[in-house]
Chains A and B, each alone.
Chain A
């Protein structure tokens, strides 16, 4: 294997009118890495993530996916310089995504949600797609819910179905946009366990998260952002134990305080 990064972002920026929501964003992700994007709300984490598969267009810099430039072919970055949708689809093929709001298709069963990208997107035959779907659903512990409609599932189950859908397309890089932020506290754990399982199996991931302990535990690289810019990058867990910038110290303080407080064990 060459050491060409799976994802390479150089000087990526984006503005809405005069509002610069992202600027000078650099990131390099090698296969097998797990990158966590952290920062306060509105810091541009989600925008950065959504630029990685061109759900948001970027208007400065370069994003390379597996050696291919995403979204543009030339140096121009205005709307008219954008590649055609089919060209963009081709470049983002190695990517899959898990959404904060799951975005399952409600008119399809859980299994159909997983097979649709395979049958429609990849032209796979139904039997083969079903076999892959059932394997992916088993991996996230949802084999028993394959024939249910999403409306019947809990939030945690819906998100696990969303992960199974992303997993089934056999991505080289998975993007996760606050995968547990829409969940009840009780349901967060089951989703984090599934993500941890993927990490242990070597899946390359970029994740926007507010779960600091989790990020500290599984990340190989951590990016802390504020106001559209990277403030500090580092490796976990040292970046959490000894943040260099005063801003990150302040950001992590509440989490520090919480984790230092001894937890009351619930007898059961």
Chain B
């Protein structure tokens, strides 16, 4: 018990770093992913670029992407801190998955919805924002929550470039105290608490957003 209390402050601090890095990364991912899907719908020529981006991000490990950004960008004169590089990498990485989620969410809205908007005078843009987006986002909310969870878990990789997040903190404690069980149990519990909170929020928001379907 005493040992546990001693570990808590370090874990609390590291949890905030994990939360900050992964939520900032997921926020970038959401915005970029949304934009990718919107551009794909608006400009058909953009589709090729979209495909290329998805293919590149999905086809390579996150660790490799992180290395390219952290160690590669300084070559072209852009030196980022470990935290900045991690946020940017998580953002670009999750953007591909978020974009694909938005794509399938937009695909889930029946064509008839768009047709009835277009023939009654709504422009493409108005149809996107007023007809497709509300239905697609309500459909996508639980999936988006899931992707945020994956982003939180992927952030463990950033410990490799010395971001003082949960995995890094647990490793440091293990290497100084040589006690394995408690730090790693706490590590698992901490991730689980974070991801549960995200899952429950997404579930709640998803239910609220589809209230209209139940009249």
Interchain CB contact under 8 A, B131 and A105:
yes
CB proximity to A under 8 Å, residues B49-72: none
Q: Does B9 contact A (CB under 8 A)?
A: no
A166-B120 contact in complex given A105-B131, A107-B135, C-beta closer than 8 Å: yes
Q: Does B123 contact A (CB under 8 A)?
A: yes
- In the bound complex, residues from chain A placing their C-beta under 8 Å from that of B123 are 85-86, 89, 120-121
Interchain CB contact under 8 A, A151 and B122:
no
Q: Which residue in A92, A149, A152 is a CB contact (below 8 Å) of B119?
A: A92
Distance between Cα atoms of A117 and B118 in the complex (Å):
9
Q: Which residue in A103, A151, A169 is a CB contact (below 8 Å) of B215?
A: A151
Q: Which residue in B120, B121, B130, B135 is a CB contact (below 8 Å) of A106?
A: B135
A55-B119 contact in complex given A106-B213, A151-B212, C-beta closer than 8 Å: yes
A44 to chain B, nearest CB (A): 18
Q: Does A6 contact B (CB under 8 A)?
A: no
Q: Chain B interface: which of A94-102, A127-135, A234-242, A250-258?
A: A94-102
Interchain CB contact under 8 A, A96 and B213:
no
The contact string, 1 if C-beta is below 8 Å from chain B, for chain A 137-150, is 00000000000110
Distance between Cα atoms of A95 and B119 in the complex (Å):
8
**CB-based nearest A residue for B112:** A103
B14 to chain A, nearest CB (A): 41
Distance between Cα atoms of A122 and B126 in the complex (Å):
12
A223 to chain B, nearest CB (A): 21
Distance between Cα atoms of A95 and B113 in the complex (Å):
17
Interchain CB contact under 8 A, A107 and B134:
yes
Q: Which residue in B110, B121, B131, B212 is a CB contact (below 8 Å) of A89?
A: B121
Chain B residues touching A, range:
20 to 34
- In the bound complex, residues from chain A placing their C-beta under 8 Å from that of B126 are 120-121
A117-B215 contact in complex given A99-B116, A103-B112, C-beta closer than 8 Å: no
- In the bound complex, residues from chain B placing their C-beta under 8 Å from that of A104 are 116
Residue among B121, B122, B135, B138 with max Cβ neighbours from chain A (10 Å): B121
Distance between Cα atoms of A32 and B130 in the complex (Å):
34
A120-B215 contact in complex given A99-B115, A106-B135, A107-B138, C-beta closer than 8 Å: no
Q: Does B208 contact A (CB under 8 A)?
A: no
- In the bound complex, residues from chain A placing their C-beta under 8 Å from that of B119 are 53, 55, 92, 95-97
Interchain CB contact under 8 A, B120 and A165:
yes
- In the bound complex, residues from chain B placing their C-beta under 8 Å from that of A121 are 120-123, 126
Q: Does A247 contact B (CB under 8 A)?
A: no
Interchain CB contact under 8 A, A151 and B213:
yes
Distance between Cα atoms of A166 and B135 in the complex (Å):
22
**CB-based nearest B residue for A104:** B116
- In the bound complex, residues from chain A placing their C-beta under 8 Å from that of B120 are 96-97, 116-117, 121, 165-166, 169
Distance between Cα atoms of A149 and B121 in the complex (Å):
22
- In the bound complex, residues from chain A placing their C-beta under 8 Å from that of B112 are 99, 101, 103
A210 to chain B, nearest CB (A): 19
Q: Does A77 contact B (CB under 8 A)?
A: no
Q: Does B79 contact A (CB under 8 A)?
A: no
Q: Does B172 contact A (CB under 8 A)?
A: no
A202 to chain B, nearest CB (A): 21
Q: Does A93 contact B (CB under 8 A)?
A: yes
The contact string, 1 if C-beta is below 8 Å from chain A, for chain B 99-131, is 000000000001011011111111110100011
The contact string, 1 if C-beta is below 8 Å from chain B, for chain A 53-84, is 10100000000000000000000000000000
Distance between Cα atoms of A149 and B134 in the complex (Å):
14
Q: Which residue in B124, B138, B214, B215 is a CB contact (below 8 Å) of A85?
A: B124
Distance between Cα atoms of A104 and B124 in the complex (Å):
17
- In the bound complex, residues from chain A placing their C-beta under 8 Å from that of B215 are 148-149, 151-152
List residues of chain A with CB under 8 Å of any chain B CB: 53, 55, 85-86, 89, 92-93, 95-97, 99, 101, 103-108, 116-117, 120-122, 148-149, 151-152, 162, 165-166, 169
8 shortest A-B CB distances, which residue pairs? A121-B121, A152-B215, A103-B116, A117-B120, A103-B112, A149-B212, A151-B215, A107-B134
Known interface pairs A55-B118, A120-B122, A149-B212; 5 further A-B residue pairs with C-beta atoms within 8 A, sorted by A's residue number: A89-B118, A105-B117, A117-B117, A120-B121, A169-B121
List residues of chain B with CB under 8 Å of any chain A CB: 110, 112-113, 115-124, 126, 130-131, 134-135, 138, 212-215
